Structure formats: C-alpha cells, structure tokens
Amino acid sequence: MKMSEPMKRILALSLSLLLVLTLLPAGALAVDTYTTSVEGVRMIEEFEGFSSTAYADNGKWYIGYGTLCEPSDYPNGISELEADQLMRDALVVAEDVVNNLLMDYSISVTQYQFDAMVSMTYNLGTQWIVPEYRFCGYLISGIWQYTETEVVNAIATWCHQGSMVRESLVNRRLREAYLFLYGQYDNAGPDNYTYIHYSPNGGTVENRTVFYPVGQPYGTLATPVQKGRTFLGWYLDDGTQITGLETAMEDITVTARWDGEGTGSADEVDVTKWVNPYRDVSSTDWYYTYVRELSVKAIVGGYADGTFQAAKELSAGEALKLILVAAGYQDPGNSASGHWAENYLALAESLGCVYAGEIANLDGSISRLTIARIAAVAMGLLPREGESPFADVNDGYTLALYEEGILNGSVVSGQRYYHPEDGINRAEMCAIVSRINGWEYEEVNDPSKSGFIKFRKQYLPVLWDVPVAPYNKNLFVLDGSRMYYNDPNYTTEIGIDVSRHQEEIDWTKVAASGIDFVMIRLGYRGWGSEGKVNLDARFEENLRGAKAAGLKVGVYFYSQAITTEEAREEAQFVLDHLGGVALEYPVAYDWEIVNESGARTKGLGVDALTDCTIAFCDTIAQAGYKTIIYSGFDVSYLRMDLSRLTGYDFWFPQYSQKPTMYYNYRIWQYSDKGTVPGISTKVDMDIAFVPYN
C-alpha cells in the first residue's frame, strides 16, 4: 500500500522523536502542552514558501510548504489549501517532539515560545534537541539565566547548509529567536543582529558563526587554536584586521592568521626565510602567499629567465598533475614514454574525475568548469544542490567547492563570476592547490558530505561502495563493563574474547553473569621469521567449558600470514582443530600489525594482505562456518582494500565509550579492561549487533 505524503513526514519525525525520547529523563512535574497557533502556522508557511510542484533540496524532495514527498507523488501539483493541510499534518509530530521535551524536563513556556520551537523542529527535525547543544541546554537549565545575545546565538547558530551560511536560514533563525524572546511574529530580529563567520585557517574554533547586536562594538572575538602555532589575529579578505573594537554593522567573514604565515595548514613548512626568486612576483600581488607556499614546498617553480608568469594559462596535463597530487593521491610520476602527463590522465579517469576520451590533448587548454569537476571528485565532494553563488554558472561541483572555500571567483559590480568556459592561469591554480592542501574539515566530520575520513593527520577518501556503519553513536551507554545500545531497531548481545592469557576460567560463573557469547582464540602464527602455527594452550579447555555453560561460541585465529598459501594453511589448521563442532558465532581472521624488529609481516602490501584475508575466510566458509574479519583503524583504513571485502562481516576494536569507525561492523570490541565473574584477569568486552544466533 502506498504511504501518503503527510504520513511519510510523520513517520520520519516519529522515528526521530523515538530516538530523542531514549535520551531524555522523565520529568517530575506536569507542564502545559500546546498546539501551534494560527500565527505560528502562518509564520512557518511564510518561511517555507509555497510550491505547487515538487522540488529537490539537499537530496530530498518537497512540495507545498516544505512537506517531504517523492518526486512522482504529485504529477499535477497541489493547491495552497492542500499544501496547508499537508503541513498541518506534519506539524502534529513536530508539536509532539516539543511537548515531550517540555514535559520530560518540566519546562514551562508561552504559546509564542512553543511556536518558535515548532518552527525550528519543522525545519531542522530533532537535531537541536540534544542537551549538549546550547539552546536545548538553556531550556533545561532555565532560559531566564541567559542574555538576549546568548539566546539569539543559541538559536541562530543553526543557520548552515553544509559548511556555508545560508542567508535565508539566518533570517529565519533570527526571527524565531525574537519570537521566542518577545512574542513578536513579525519582528525585526534580522535587522538587529549581524554576524561574523570565522574561518580558522587550519585551526579550530568553538563556533564558526557568531551573532552580534547591530550598532555595538563586537567586543571579545572568538579565539582559535592550532597545535604548535601562535594565533596572530582575524583578517578580512582585503587584509584589514578585525580586533573587536569595530562597530557591528554588516555580515563579514574573517580568516585567522598564524605565525609563519601561509595557508595555516597543519603540515605547513616554514616560509619566513623564503627568498623570492621571481622577478615578476611582488609581495603586493594577491597570489603572492600562494606562490610562496607552493614554491617552498617545491610544488611549483619558475622559468629559466627568473619569471613565474602568473598569467600564463595552464595545459590540461599540468592542471591534472597539480590537482591530483594536492588532493592527496600518490604521485604516479611522469610517463617515460608517450606524453609526460599520461599517468595523471589515467589516474583521473580511474577516479571518475574525467570521462574516458574527454581530454584528447594534454597540451591543450582546460576549462574552469572541468577544473571544478576534477577537483571536487578528487576531493571526494559530491555535487550539491542549492542557489549558485555565481551569476554565470549553476553547477553542483562549483557550488561544493565554493562552500568548502576552494573557489571564490571574482566579484564585479556586486555580482560573483566564475567564468566557467575560460582557461585557468598559474596564479589561479596556485590558489586552488593551496586551499586543497590546507583544506580542513569540521571537527564533527560527516564523511558522507565531505568525501573524506579524518584519521590521525590524514584525510582518507571515502570508499563509496563500502557499507557505512548504521549505528547512532549517541545511543551507546556504558554501565560498568557492559555496553548497551538503546536503539529499538537492533538486538544486541554482550560477549567476551579470551585466550590462554585469561588463565583458568569458571565458565558457569561467566554464563550466570549475563554474558551471551564468547570468541575463543583457537591458535596463532608467530611473528618471527619461522612463522610457526600454534594451538592456543587453553583452546580445547575453553571450548568445552563455554559450551557446557550454554554460551554461544565463536573462535578466532591470530594471523601473521604473508601469502595466500599461509592463510589457507591457517584456515585448515582451524578446521582440523574444530573437528566439525557447531559454532553459533563466526570464525574470525585476526591479522594485526606487529611493530617489533624482525616481524615477518613488515612491509606487507595492501593487495597481499587483502588476498590473505579472502583466502582464509573463503576456506573457512567452504567448510560451512560463518566468518568475520577482526580489523582496527590502522588495518582497515591503511592496510586492507575494503572495497574487495564488502561481502564479509567485520569485528572492530576501539576502546572507548562511543565507536567512531566509519565503515560497517557486526561486533564492536569496546574494552580490554572488562571485569567478569569467573575470570581472574581483565578481559576484552564485545557487543554484537543482530546476533549470529
């Protein structure tokens, strides 16, 4: 049966509400509940605007007054009356979300404050209803304790789409803030506040966009931090420093400057001692800092006559090389035969940056529109939908790069232009390469939007064909040694993994303590040059004891295989010692990095390890057992080709209260210091999702 459009929105919000309610404590006192007033409904409709036909926004489809739908649901469109009813149906769930927040925390509000919160919820969903976020926290602790400016900032901070400030959202949030504060549905909130958007330039800052009362001095500005660097101040694009003494009059964007001025990227080299070798580049040129930085890093250079020739147009081959290397791909080097840039073209085609045969002449020019697509795809950025900042192009890749601060274009008579069909010169490319090199992601990273996973100091391109972990990390709760996952859509089981290091185990006590399953080490290969395969000294004892106690059992083998023949040998060793015994949980392939000198696995390549993993798992599976791969951050992100392992389950170790692995896993090893009755030592603790029973 086809679901009606209002029901789709209601269902989506209901699921969000269910998640919110699992996070909130029960309230002690009864409070008034509300429905949205007529004035509130009209205000929301004004914000949303009316569309008689379905339209796309940020990957979803809407109709009427911002009601979710499918693109084919209303082939003939709808009337304003129908749109009004659709929106009112969806508002019922938004009202329930807000009313439940008020009841659970015994918060008393007025009708107009309720209307303001419903407007936010209709637009944002439940994402703002988290006690750690300012506005929700203010409501819980008592909104009367906070100043007007604090409340305005707590509400107006929700004004971004991606990393870009949206003026329509600024206007809406400020009007909602003034409605909440003063009960004025038609108010001058947007006229009374302006903002500074802070660009930390390689550092971090608590709040990127901060609102200030118009006509008053800014006062204390945000303070960014960057490890190993000294903050020098905030600057406008024209070089003017903003100190906080200025009067807030209009929206501005400021960029942090750091000691050893350059792009401010975390791995920036010292440019302070650079001697300019180019007689045609001056410190007053807009591109000077970009040329200096890339020259110090030996990314660009000049010509034999001592010139840089900033206005010279780049060839397609030159552009490909600079962008791909800047985006972090291993430099394939110049081709020894044929055209020098053939290797870069082949890499670009393999990544999908350019189409096969699209660039026929590597010495010819390349358009700025093509440059945008190459850069965005190489950075892992998806094309975005929304209003283009450029008057002469409406393209998802240029929008994505603009929102990420990579492309600026040029402003003429108040209009921003990109000149998409023009070629690109050396100065312009230096700016783009520098910004890609210094591209910093939000601390709360969303790889599905940025296209990259931050791992230590690296940014790893997302593997789009590898399944993503579906779990909401905010729903994990650690109670002593037991981890719980408060999502009604999942069933979980708590387990342990053991080896001879846990010594003698009283399995009856383990089972009585509430442990559901155990992963038992069957054996291991030594990491030394001999690489001898061994049986765990307590495997048979542990297997018998766990089975007798009624626990669900799986096993693992600690591998140091360096060839597929060795991996199959390990798998056969496992099968021989299992002897056909039934297992409720899988057989795990546990290959780990050994950093000891003389380790036989040092230098084992990605393809070789991936081949070994497949050889082990397939041998086990052919014998009728389920398999799983034990793999932490280093092995998963750096040592395995996960795109070849999408048919296997993963067992992921990370000792923390919340998992941060981006890709999917079925078991999470969340602690190595668990305490369980019947075991005298510390023990690894695991939680399994959708158990293997």
Residues 386, 500 within the same domain:
no
Inter-residue contact 382 to 398 (CB < 8 Å):
no
Confidence grade of residue 657 (pLDDT, cut at 50, 70, 90): confident
Q: What is the reported pLDDT for 31? A: 67
User: Do 136 and 111 belong to one domain?
Assistant: yes
- More confidently predicted of 452 and 664: 664
| Res 201: pLDDT | 80
In a domain, 280, yes or no: no
* Co-location of 328 and 431 in the same domain: yes
Asked whether residue 645 falls in the same domain as residue 505, the answer is yes
In a domain, 599, yes or no: yes
Residues 135, 28 share a domain: yes
pLDDT digits (tens, 9 = 90+) for 92-130: 989 998 999 999 899 999 999 999 999 999 988 888 888
Separation between Cα atoms, residue 139 and residue 104, nearest integer Å: 12
- Asked if the structure places residue 27 within a domain, the reply is yes
On whether the CB atoms of residues 116 and 143 are closer than 8 A, the answer is no
How far apart (Å, rounded) are the C-alpha atoms in residues 585 and 294?
53
Q: Read off the pTM.
A: 0.43
Q: Per the domain annotation, does 322 fall within a domain? A: yes
Count, residues in the chain? 693
Among 240, 259, 278, where does a domain finish?
Answer: 259
Domain that holds residue 585: 473-689
**677 and 534 together in one domain:** yes
- Domain finish residue from 416, 431, 460: 460
Domain boundary among 259, 276, 303: 259
pLDDT at 267: 43
Note whether 181 and 317 are same-domain residues: no
Does 169 have pLDDT greater than 80? yes
Average pLDDT over residues 500-527: 95
Q: How far apart are CA 457 and CA 228, in angstroms?
A: 14
Q: How many CA atoms lie within 13 A of 19 on its CB side?
A: 21
Residue 279 is assigned to a structural domain of this protein: no
Q: What is the average pLDDT score of the chain?
A: 85
Decide if 536 is inside a domain. Answer: yes
Which pLDDT tens digit goes with each residue over 29-42?
456 789 999 999 99
Number of domains observed in the structure of the chain: 4
Instruction: Tell me the CATH number at 130.
Output: 1.10.530.40
What is the average pLDDT across 162-187?
89
User: Do 484 and 424 have their domain in common?
Assistant: no
Tokens of 406: 């990579």
Question: Is there a domain that residue 276 lies in?
Answer: no
Whether residues 640 and 562 share a domain: the answer is yes
Residue 478 and residue 522 in one domain: yes
Same domain, 407 and 375: yes
Q: How far apart are CA 59 and CA 61, in angstroms?
A: 7
Which pLDDT value is given to residue 24? Answer: 40
Which DSSP string corresponds to 388-434?
Answer: -S-TT---HHHHHHHHTTS---EEETTEEE--TTS--BHHHHHHHHH
Q: For residue 520, give the CATH number of its domain.
A: 3.20.20.80
User: Does any domain span residue 468?
Assistant: no
d(CA 618, CA 95): 52
Q: Are residues 205 and 181 in the same domain?
A: no
- State the CATH number of the domain containing residue 219: 2.60.40.4270
Task: Please name which of 121, 116, 153, 154 lies closest in space to residue 138, comparing C-alpha atoms.
Answer: 154
At 322, which helix (H) or strand (E)? Answer: helix 316-326
Share of the chain above pLDDT 90, in %: 47
